[in-house]
Amino acid sequence: MNSRTYRIKNLHLVAVVVWSGLFTNSLYAIDPAVVEAQQRRVAVVNEVSPTVVAIFSASGEGGGGSGVLISADGYVLSNYHVTSGAGDFMKCGLNDGKLYDAVIVGIDPTGDVALLKMLGRDDFPIAKIGDSDALHAGDWVYAMGNPFLLATDFKPTVTYGIVSGVHRYQYPAGTILEYTDCIQTDSSINPGNSGGPLFNDAGELVGINGRGSFEKRGRVNSGAGYAISINQIMNFLGHLKSGRIVDHATLGATVASVSDGSVVVESILEESAAYRRGLREGDEIVSFAGRPIRSVNQYKNILGIYPKGWKLPLEYRRNQEKETVQVRLRGLHAQSEIIPGQKKKPQPPGKEGAQKKAPKEPEVPAEFAKIYEKKTGFANYHFNQQEQNRILGRLNQWGDYASRNGLWKISGKDQKGNPFKVELSNEQATLSYGGKVWKQSFDGSELTTDPPNTGGLLVALHHLRLFMTHHGFLFSEFMYLGTEPLDGLGNRVDVLTSELTSVQSRWYFSDKDQTFLGFDTQVRPDTDEAEIRFSKLKEFGELKFPSHWSVSSGGANSVEWIIESIQLSPGPKPTGKQVTSR
């Protein structure tokens, strides 16, 4: 290189430096909106960062992932495939740099959701819940979490991207795990992001990141990440708080799309509620849970966001006639299929770096002994017990029903003035109404659904007496189920369930003040339920009792009963058992 070119290049260097300097200065002066947009992003990230959780196994070995706080007392949402790898006791880090103990609460292996509880504070920062159905493709979203488990100070990593698609359906990959109605994003989702939050542009929680499409580029972000919609998770939240292993739902019918774009019933189980409500092969499904159905994926999407047992409106068409019915959804799986360690264990969606074998079941550490109880069908039965106590505590304010376990006599009249009289004892239920008398014995004889078209009111009333006097004590199964919309359309209510022989009952309580709102009793799995709703609580001597009952079954018009008198005798001998909870 001769000296001449050398000099020229030096000049060139100077010119470039000066120019770039000018450019830089003018850039920052260009448009305040740019700075404003950036400041807004920074503000959102600062606001939500304290709610993002880094999850590790208690031993520090094995699994890990991310989560997000949704309640001040420490409830955290994450992925099932994160907690299944991390174990029932975990360590959770927040961006304040502190590490907290956490315990598993409830799991949804099908939906890949887990609820855990962080301990030690009642003032945890919480994420604001957004509306995932309001998202559009193209909206900006923030994915936060602990990708590659690289944040040793627990400060979350932020990746910013757009919504690539909404209402996506992702097939189960050889397992029971499926992502329905999920959000697709190009925000970078990597191993370790699993369980972490997806926030919308306003910093509201719209999803839980958990899955990605990977192929030949390896198990890192390839531009297609998926988040479970927060609206789905909110449907399941009450169930998850029950400490149970929760299940998803099926209508009991398979559908297929036909050439004209409509979706028709291909086959249907005769014991399903949908069949009892009149749905048959060949009927066109018009809408479900208020959403129109135009493809099989849409049907799967909608079905996938609801828990087993919810009652939802189904609209179908046959010969140009449309019919809307309320259908209670069946469970998608046999319980053995969703209990970890039994049968097919759901595999993680294959992206967590942390997905080695779950650590060996540890001894329950002393500090967790009071908040963890193992029981089949539950992730942590302790939380079920807590919820039962919360609800039944309020019921005890109706009076000392525990001592009234003798003969019950209830009488009144219906809305037309026809009198009725009910007698209930341990051995028998009798109803005199409309000039007829119905009897049901409980000596092992077959249970009926009498009177006709009531779904088995006699059995239902018998179970009401068992429940009021002994709560769960006399049933073979009794638990807090979670929350569901009352009668498919109403407000969310807390639900307790009981089981005795073939009879299953659901007991409904206001989720606001735990008022006992009514119950459904199903005599056999293939029969319609007797549905009793209470109102107008009245004092009958020392006891409070609802004075208005609405009685119906199978979608038929209800009969209104006005209670005029109750006589609930003390039993021959109190059981001596504590009945508020076992």
Partner 1 sequence: MNWVFVHLLRKTLCCIIIAGGMSLSCVSTVANADDSQAAVRSIQSRMVKIFGAGGLRNLYSYSTGFLASPDGHIVTVWSHVLDQDRVTVILANGRKETAVVLGAEPQLDLAVLKIEREGLQLPYFDLENHASAAPGTRVLAFSNMFKVATGDEPLSILHGVIAAKTKLTARRGAYEVPYDGPVYIIDAITNNPGAGGGLVTNTQGELLAMIGKELRNNESNTWINYAMPMSELTPVIKQIMTGDYVSQETKPDGEDNPLRYQPLDFGLLMIADVVFRTPAFIEVVDANSLAEELGLKPGDLILFVNDNLVQSCRELRQEFGRLEAGDDLSLTIRRDDKLMTVDAIVPRKVNEN
Assigned token pair, 461: 């009333």
Using CB under 8 A, which of the segments 10-18, 48-56, 113-121, 465-473 binds partner 1? 10-18
Q: Is 10 a binder of partner 1 (CB under 8 A)?
A: yes
Q: Is 81 a catalytic residue?
A: yes
Map the footprint of partner 1 across residues 160-179, applying CB under 8 A. Answer: 161-165, 167-170
Q: Is 186 or 531 the residue whose CB approaches partner 1 more closely?
A: 186
> Which H helix or E strand runs over 383?
helix 381-395
> Is 194 known to be catalytic?
yes
Footprint of partner 1 on residues 108-137 (CB under 8 A)?
A: 136-137
Does 34 participate in binding partner 1 (rule CB under 8 A)? yes
**How remote is the C-alpha of 11 from its chain's centroid?**
69
Which residue in the list 78, 194, 287, 553 is annotated as catalytic?
194
Q: Does 23 bind partner 1 (CB under 8 A)?
A: yes
Asked if 425 touches partner 1 (CB under 8 A), the answer is no
- The string of DSSP codes covering 8-57 is HHHHHHHHHHHHHHHHHHHHHHH-HHHHHHHHHHHHHHHHHGGGEEEEEE
Q: Residues 51, 57, 190, 221: which binds partner 1 (CB under 8 A)?
A: 221
Shortest gap between Cβ of 186 and partner 1 (angstroms)?
4
Q: Would you state the structure tokens that stand for residue 349, as one six-digit string?
A: 């969606």
**Which residue stretch of 84-92, 228-236, 293-301, 306-314 sits at the interface with partner 1 (rule: CB under 8 A)?**
293-301
The verdict on 2 binding partner 1 (CB under 8 A) reads: no
Task: Candidates 59, 71, 175, 222: give the one binding partner 1 (CB under 8 A).
Answer: 222
Distance between CA atoms of residues 70 and 79, nearest Å: 14
> What whole-number distance in Å separates Cα of residue 284 and Cα of residue 261?
11
Residues 6+ apart with CB under 8 A from 225: 143, 184, 185, 186, 187, 188, 189, 193, 209, 211, 212
17 binds partner 1 (CB under 8 A): yes
Q: Would you give the binding string for partner 1 spanning residues 237-276, x where CB under 8 A is met?
A: --------------------x---x---------------
- Is residue 6 a contact residue for partner 1 (CB under 8 A)? yes
- Rounded CA-CA distance 80/348 in Å is 8
**Token pair of 281 as six digits:** 């092969």
Question: Which position among 49, 57, 78, 81 bears the catalytic label?
Answer: 81
- The backbone region for 192, taken as left when phi is positive above 0, alpha when psi lies in -120 to 50, beta otherwise, is left
Query: Which one of the listed residues 108, 112, 511, 520 is annotated catalytic?
Result: 112
Residue 504 is encoded by which pair of tokens? 């299953």
Between 68 and 206, CB nearer to partner 1:
206
Does residue 449 interact with partner 1 by CB under 8 A? Answer: no
* Cβ atoms of 189 and 207 closer than 8 Å: no
Which phi-psi region, left, alpha or beta, contains residue 350 (left: φ > 0; alpha: ψ -120 to 50)?
left
Return the number of the residue (11 or 366) whose C-beta is nearest partner 1: 11
Residue list 46-75, contact with partner 1 (CB under 8 A): none
Rank residues 113 and 224 by Cβ distance to partner 1 and give the closer one.
Answer: 224
Q: How far apart are the first and last CA of the chain?
A: 93
578 interacts with partner 1 by CB under 8 A: no
317 three-state secondary structure: strand
Residue 362 CB: number of other CB atoms within 10 A?
A: 13
Q: Where does this chain bind partner 1 (CB under 8 A)?
A: 6, 9-10, 12-13, 16-17, 19-20, 23-24, 27, 30-31, 33-34, 37-38, 136-138, 161-165, 167-170, 184, 186, 213, 215-217, 221-224, 257, 261, 294-295, 297
The catalytic site residues sit at: 81, 112, 194
